Structure 1
Amino acid sequence: MANDLFSIAQSGIMASQAQLGVTSNNIANVNTVGYNRQVAIQGSMGSQNLGGQFYGTGTYVSEVKRIYNEYAARELRIGQTGLSGAETSLTKLNEMDQLFSQIGKAVPKSLNDLFDTLNSLGDQPQDIGIRNAILTTASQLANSLNQMQSSLNGQMSQTHDEMKNVVGRINDISTEIAEINRELMKSAGNDSQLRDRQDALIQELSQYAEVNVIPLDNGGRSIMLGSAFMLVSSDQASTMGVKEGDPFANEIELTFRVGDTAMKLDASKLGGQLGALFDFREQTLLPASQELGQMALGIADAFNQMQAKGFDLNGLVGKPIFTDINDPTMAAGRVGAMANNTGNASLSVNIDNVGALSGGSYELSFTAPSSYQLKDSKTGAITPLTLNGDKLEGGAGFSIKIDAGAMASGDKFEIRPTANAASQLSVTLTDPKGIAAAAPKISGDAANTGSSVKLVSIDDRNAANFPQTGSELVFELDTSVTPPTYEVFDTDGNSLAVGAATGTPPQVSAFGFTFEIEANGGTNERFTFDLSFAPGDNTNAIEMAKLSDAKLMNNGKSTLADVFEQTKQDIGSQTKSALVRATTAEAIYKQAYDRVQSESGVNLDEEAANLMKFQQSYQASARVMSTASTLFDTLFSSLR
C-alpha cells in the first residue's frame, strides 16, 4: 500500500508540477502579442482491484490545451480588416482635405486676383501697369493649378509606394505561414507556439486584406485573400506583385502568380488597407485630379474666347492668354488604349464645349462593323457615337479623333477629357498690349435662324470699305449651301461684293478682316459689322471681369470657382464620412477583441489563483509522499 501511496503521490507531484509550469508560462506571456493561454488537462489513472475493492492509482496530464475559439478569431479578423480599411481611408482623406485647404487655397485666391485686376483694367484700359498685373496674376493662377496638380501627383506616388510596401509584407507573411504549415504537419498541429505564431501572422494579414482561413486535416491552414485568390495552399505560398497600369502606365495594378503566369488581381475584392488604398485612388484622387483639369480647361477656354472677341491695344483681334485647350499634346494625353487591343488606331480628344464637361472618365468600345459606344465610368450610362469622317461625335462636350490607324472589333480605350490640363496650363501671352480690352460690334438680325459668326483677324484697317461706325457693312449669308455664300451691303443698301466662304470651318476674308461662319442651314442670315477701335474702349475688359459670376461650367450650373469649391467640399464630406466609419469599425473591432481576450487572453488574477492552487496541490502530494515514507519506515522497524 505504501508503494501505492508513493506512486499516487508521485503522479500528483508530476501533475501539479505540470500545472505550475503551464500557469507560469501563461503569466510570463501575459504581454506577448498573439499568445493564447494554455491549460493542462488532468485525467485519473486506471483503478486497481484489491480484495474486491477498486482503488485509484493517481493522476496524469492528458494534454496541454491551447484555448482558442475559431469563431471569435474569425470575427476579430473581420473587425481588423474593417478597422484597417477605415483608418487607411480616413488617413488618406485627411491628407487630401488638408491639401485642398492649405495648398489648394492659392487656386481660388489667384482666380479672384485675376478678376480684380480685370476690374481695374475696365477703369483704365490703356494702363500698361494694370495690363502687366493681369499677366502676372494669370501666371500665378496657372502656377497655383500646376502646383496643385503636382501635389496630387505626389499623393498618387505616395499611395503607390504604400501599396508596394503592403504587397511586399503580404509576400513575407505568406512565405512564413507556408513554412509554419510545413512544421505543423510534423506535429499534427499540436505545437501551440507555432499555432500562436501562425494566428498572429494571419491576424496581421487581415489588416492588409480580407482573409479567409481554411483549416487542413494535417494541422496547417490554407489562406485565401478576399474572394480573389489562394495566397497559401498547404505549404505552398503564392506571390503578389505590381505592374504598370492598363491603359495608363503610371497607375499600378496588382498581380498574383499562378505557375509562371502573372494574373491581374481585382483590388476591389480585397478590402482592408490594400483595398482602401485602391479605392482612395479610384474614387477620390483621380476624380479630384480630373475635376482640377476641368477647372483649368474652363479658365483657359473662357479667357481665350474673350480674347478672340476683342481688340488689343494694336487694334488687332486678341490672341490667347492661356494654352490652347486643344493643344495636340493635351489632346493625345486624354486617351489610353487597352493593352489587349488588336487594332492600331491612334486617338486624340478634342474639347468642343467646356461647359458640357463633367470631369469624369469614359470607356470607348468598338464592335465591328460600325458600332462605337461610350460608357460613363461613374454612372454606367452608355452613349452611342457617330463617326463623321475621322471624328467620333456625341460625347458630353468632346469629340474623339482617329488620327491614324484603325480599330479592331473589341478594342477599348479609356477617355479622360480633362486629364493633365491643370499641369499643362500656362500663360502664352507675353505682351501686355495684347490684352483685348476693346470690343468690335457685330450683331445679327432678329430674323436669323441660328447661324453665327466669329471674328478671326483684322488684316488691314486701311482697306477700302473697312467697316467702322457710320460705315458699317452688312453680310448676308446663305448657309444652306456648302460652302456658304455671301453678299455684302453698305449702310445705304448698295451691294459691294458677292462670294463664297473657303476652308474648314468656312471663313470669309474681305474688306480687311476675316471671320468664321458656324452654319445652321439658314438663308438670308444677316450680320452687321462695326470694327471701329479706340484705345480707351473697355467693353471687352468688363465682359472678362463678368466671367467671375458667369455659370460657364457643368451645363450652366457652376462658375469657374465653383468647380474647385465643389471638389473641396466633396472631399470634406468624404472625410467626415470616413471618420464615422472609422469610429464604428473601431467599436466593432474592440468588441471582437474583448471577446477573444475573455477566452484566450491571460488573466493575471485567475493565473495567480491557479498558481496558489497548484502550489498547494504540489505541497499536499509531497506531504502524501512523506507520509508514505514514514509508514514504510515504521513497517520495516516492526520487522526487526
Structure 2
Amino acid sequence: MSVNLYNTGVSGLLAAQQQLATTGNNIANVNTEGYNRQRAEQNAATGLYNGGNYIGGGTYIENVRRVYDQFSYKEQLLSQTSLSNADGLHVDLSQLNEIMTFSGGAINSSLDKFYQTINSIADNPSDLGLRSMAITQAQVLSSDFKSLNANFDQIEKSTNGEIGQIASHISQISVEISKINEQVLHAQNPRTGQPNDLLDTRDRLVNELSKYTSVNTVVDDNGVMSVMIGNGATLVAGITPLSVGVQAGDPDPNKTTLTIVGSNSTVNLNGAVVGGSLAAKYEFRDQHLAQVRSEINRLAMVISETLNEAQHDGLDLNEQEGLDFFTDINSNILERSRVLAPSKNTGNLEARVNISDVSKVPTSEFEVKYDGVNFIMKNLTDNSTVNLGAAGASHSASIAAYGFEFIEDSGTPNAGDTFIIRPTENSASLMEVKLTDGAGISASTPIEVTASDNNVGGGSVSIVQMHDPLAAQTYASTTNTSLTVDVYDNGGALEYRVYDSAIFPISNIASGSYAPGGSVLVDLPPSPATAVFQLEIKGNPTGSSALAREEFSIADSFGVGNGNNATLMGLTQEKGIINGEQETFSQSLGVSTSTVGSKAKSAELVETTAQALFTKAYNRNQSTSGVNLDEEAANLLKFQQAYQASSQIISIANTIFDTLLQAVR
C-alpha cells in the first residue's frame, strides 16, 4: 500500500513540476513575437487491480501542446496581407502626391511666366529683351518638365529596387521554412509530442511572408508544410525551397517581372496578383505612376505642338516663317520610341508612331498584334480593338479616333508578332527649346482680314488655318494685289465670292453660299492647287443685294510692330486642346495633380480600414493563443499547491513504510 501511495505521490509531483515548467515558459515568452501559449495535457494513470478493485495509479503528462486555432490564425494572415498591401500603396501614392504637388506647381508657374512674356511681346513685338526673356522662360518650362520626368524615373527605379529586395527576402523565408520542415519531419512523433517551438518559428515565418504576398499553406500527416503564394504558385514544396527571381521586363526593361525559380524550371509569376506589399508595388508602378507619367508626357507634347504650330503660322523679325519653339513631336527619335517590340518577335519589322492630332491622343497603352494578314490593335485600358489593315511596304494606318498613325518603316512581321504602343512616350524627357534667337519668335501675322467701314451686319471673315505663311503673304500681296471677300443675302441664302478687286472685270477665285447663321470654310488658293491658308465666313451680313455687298479685304500685314500672331499664341493658354479639346494646359495639369491627391487620400482611408480589421483579427487570435499573465499567475499558484500536496503524499508514504519496518524488527 505504501509503495503504491509513494508512486502516486511521485507521479503527482512530476506532473505538477511539468505543469509549473510549462506555465513558467509561457510567462517567460509573454513578449515573444509569434509565440503560442502551451498547455500540459495531464491524464490519470491506469489503475492497479487489488482485492477486486482498481486502485488509482497516479497521473502523468501525456503531451505538451501549443494552444493554436488555425481559423483565427488564417484570418490574421489574410488581414496582414491586406494591411501590407494598403500600407504600401498609401506610402507610395503619398510620395507621388508630394512630388506632383511641388513639381506640378513649378510647371504651372513656369507656364504662366512664359505666356506673360508672349503677351508682352504681343504688346511690344520689336523689343528684343522681351523676346530673349521668352526664350529663357521656355527653357525653364522645359527644364521643369524634364525634372518631373526625372523624379518619375527615380521613383520607378526605387520601386523596382524594392521589388527586388522583397523577392530576395521571400526567397530567404522559403529556405528557412524548408529547413524547419526538415527538422519537424525528424522531430515530429505522435508518442513524443510536437516540436512546439519549431512550429511557432515556422508560423512566424509564414506570418512575415504574408506581409509581402498572399499565402496558403498545407500541412501533411508528418507535420511538413507546403507554402503557396499569389494564385497558387508553390514557394515551398515540403523540404524543397523555391526562390522568387526578378528579371528585366520585355519589351520595357524598366517593368521588371517576377519568376518562381526551381532547380529545373522557371515559371513566370504575375506580380499584380500576388497580394501584399509586393502587389502594391506593381499596382503603383504599372497603374498609378504609369498613368500620371503618360498624362505629363501628353501635356508636354501638346504644349510643344501647339506653340510650334503657332510659330509656323506667323513671321519672325526677319520676315521668315517661324521655326519650331520646342522639339518636333514627330522627330524620328520620338516616333520610334513610341513603339516597343518584344524580343520574342520572330519578324524584323521596324515601326513608328506619328502624331496627327494632339487633341485626340489618349494616355492609354496599346498592343498591336499581327495575325498573319492584318494588324489588330487593342486598347489595353478598355480592351477595345481596331483593325489596322494588312501589312505592306511603308504601310501607314491612321487611327483617327486616337490621333496617331502606326507606320511600318522597314522589315516584315511574322504571324504572332506584337508591338506595344505608347503614344506619349518620352515627350517630357526629350522636350528641348529649339529656338535660340528671340528674333525668331514669329510675332507677326503674314496677312490679315479687314472689314469695310461700310459693313453694318454681323458677318465676319477670319483666317482659321495658316499652312504656309510666306506663300500666303505672296498670294495676298503679289499673286493678288487686292484680295477681297464679299457676302450678301439673296433672300434665302448668304452668297459669297473671293476675287481680286484690282482686276476688272471680276473673276471669282472662289464662290458659293451658306445658310443664314451658319458658316463656310474656304481654302485659298482653291483645289486643285495646294491651299496655303483657310478662311471661315460666318454670321449674318446685311448686304441686301448683289450691288450692296459687305466687303472684307485680305492683305499683307507683316511688320516689326505687328504682334497679332503673338496675341494668337498667347490665347492658346486658355484654349481647350487636351482630351478632345476639353482641357486647357493648366486644367490638364490640375486634373493630374488632383487625381493623384485623391488616390493618396483614398489609399489612406483603405489603410485605416485594413489596420482596424487586422487589429481585430490579431486580438481574436491572441485571445486564444496569446499568453494571459493573470491566467498564468493563477496556474502557478494551482500547480504550486499541487506540487506541495504531492510532496505531502510522498512524506506520508515514507512514514507508513518506516512504521512497517519498525513493526518487524
TM superposition score normalised by structure 2: 0.86
SS at match of 2:428: helix
Taking the aligned partners of 1:544 and 1:349, their CA distance within structure 2 comes to 27
Taking the aligned partners of 2:41 and 2:35, their CA distance within structure 1 comes to 19
Shift of 1:260: 3.4
Q: Deviations over 1:134-190 (max 9, x none)?
A: 111111110000000000111100100110000000000001111111111112272
Shift of 1:454: 4.0
CA RMSD of aligned residues (A): 2.9
Matched, 1:617 2:627: no
Runs of 4+ in structure 1 over 3 Å off:
258-261, 386-389, 451-461, 472-475, 487-491, 493-496, 514-518, 527-532
Compared with structure 1, are the counterparts of its residues 373 and 529 closer, same or farther at alpha carbon in structure 2 (3 Å cutoff)?
farther
Q: Deviations over 1:332-367 (max 9, x none)?
A: 111111222121111111111000011221111121
2:446·2:470 contact (CA, 8 Å) conserved in 1? no
Matched, 1:492 2:513: no
Letter of the structure 1 residue corresponding to residue 117 of structure 2: T
Shift of 1:408: 1.4
1:386·1:393 contact (CA, 8 Å) conserved in 2? no
Shift of 1:66: 1.0
The percentage of aligned residue pairs carrying the same residue is 34
SS at match of 1:42: strand
Letter of the structure 2 residue corresponding to residue 133 of structure 1: M
Of 417, 438, 445, which residue of structure 2 is paired with 1:411?
Answer: 417
Compared with structure 1, are the counterparts of its residues 605 and 107 closer, same or farther at alpha carbon in structure 2 (3 Å cutoff)?
same
Compared with structure 1, are the counterparts of its residues 91 and 386 closer, same or farther at alpha carbon in structure 2 (3 Å cutoff)?
same
Taking the aligned partners of 1:436 and 1:73, their CA distance within structure 2 comes to 72
Taking the aligned partners of 2:531 and 2:430, their CA distance within structure 1 comes to 29
Matched, 1:596 2:621: yes
Q: Deviations over 1:169-221 (max 9, x none)?
A: 00000011111111111122721111011000000000000001011112111
Residues 231-630 of structure 1: pairs in structure 2 closer than 5 A: 231-369=235-373, 371-386=374-389, 389-394=394-399, 396-441=402-447, 454-456=466-468, 458=470, 467=477, 471-472=481-482, 491-492=502-503, 530-630=555-655
Letter of the structure 1 residue corresponding to residue 370 of structure 2: F
2:447·2:472 contact (CA, 8 Å) conserved in 1? no
Letter of the structure 1 residue corresponding to residue 470 of structure 2: I
Who is 2:519 aligned against?
A: none
1:334·1:416 contact (CA, 8 Å) conserved in 2? yes
Compared with structure 1, are the counterparts of its residues 336 and 176 closer, same or farther at alpha carbon in structure 2 (3 Å cutoff)?
same
2:472·2:532 contact (CA, 8 Å) conserved in 1? no
Compared with structure 1, are the counterparts of its residues 546 and 468 closer, same or farther at alpha carbon in structure 2 (3 Å cutoff)?
farther
1:117·1:130 contact (CA, 8 Å) conserved in 2? yes
Taking the aligned partners of 1:435 and 1:161, their CA distance within structure 2 comes to 45
2:467·2:533 contact (CA, 8 Å) conserved in 1? no
SS at match of 2:33: coil
Who is 1:135 aligned against?
A: 135
Q: Deviations over 1:72-93 (max 9, x none)?
A: 1111110000000000000000
1:221·1:234 contact (CA, 8 Å) conserved in 2? yes
Compared with structure 1, are the counterparts of its residues 373 and 88 closer, same or farther at alpha carbon in structure 2 (3 Å cutoff)?
same
Letter of the structure 1 residue corresponding to residue 425 of structure 2: A
Q: Give the unaligned 5+ runs of structure 2.
A: 451-462, 486-497, 510-522, 535-551
Shift of 1:2: 1.0
Taking the aligned partners of 1:529 and 1:416, their CA distance within structure 2 comes to 43
Shift of 1:456: 3.3
Q: Deviations over 1:306-331 (max 9, x none)?
A: 00001111111111111101111111
Letter of the structure 2 residue corresponding to residue 402 of structure 1: E
Letter of the structure 2 residue corresponding to residue 458 of structure 1: L
1:467·1:532 contact (CA, 8 Å) conserved in 2? no
1:310·1:436 contact (CA, 8 Å) conserved in 2? yes
Who is 1:229 aligned against?
A: 233
Aligned length: 604
Compared with structure 1, are the counterparts of its residues 261 and 454 closer, same or farther at alpha carbon in structure 2 (3 Å cutoff)?
farther
1:548·1:559 contact (CA, 8 Å) conserved in 2? yes
Who is 2:85 aligned against?
A: 85
Q: Deviations over 1:461-491 (max 9, x none)?
A: 9x8x87169824699xxxxxxxxxxx99684
1:228·1:269 contact (CA, 8 Å) conserved in 2? no
Q: Deviations over 1:577-598 (max 9, x none)?
A: 1111111111111111011100
Taking the aligned partners of 1:11 and 1:346, their CA distance within structure 2 comes to 86
Of 50-59 and 205-214, more deviation after overlay is shown by: 50-59
Letter of the structure 2 residue corresponding to residue 239 of structure 1: S
Taking the aligned partners of 2:444 and 2:178, their CA distance within structure 1 comes to 77
Q: Deviations over 1:362-406 (max 9, x none)?
A: 11112122x222211111111222468521212501101111111
Taking the aligned partners of 1:533 and 1:154, their CA distance within structure 2 comes to 48
Shift of 1:441: 2.3
Who is 2:513 aligned against?
A: none
Q: Deviations over 1:587-636 (max 9, x none)?
A: 11111101110011111111111111111110110111111112222222
Shift of 1:268: 2.2
Q: Deviations over 1:80-124 (max 9, x none)?
A: 000000000000000011111123310111111111111211211
Taking the aligned partners of 1:123 and 1:442, their CA distance within structure 2 comes to 17
Taking the aligned partners of 2:78 and 2:276, their CA distance within structure 1 comes to 9
SS at match of 1:467: helix
Q: Give the unaligned 5+ runs of structure 1.
A: 445-450, 476-486, 499-506, 519-526
TM superposition score normalised by structure 1: 0.89
Who is 2:547 aligned against?
A: none
SS at match of 1:392: strand
Compared with structure 1, are the counterparts of its residues 629 and 493 closer, same or farther at alpha carbon in structure 2 (3 Å cutoff)?
farther
Letter of the structure 1 residue corresponding to residue 395 of structure 2: D
SS at match of 1:102: helix
1:386·1:394 contact (CA, 8 Å) conserved in 2? no
Shift of 1:455: 3.9
1:365·1:410 contact (CA, 8 Å) conserved in 2? yes
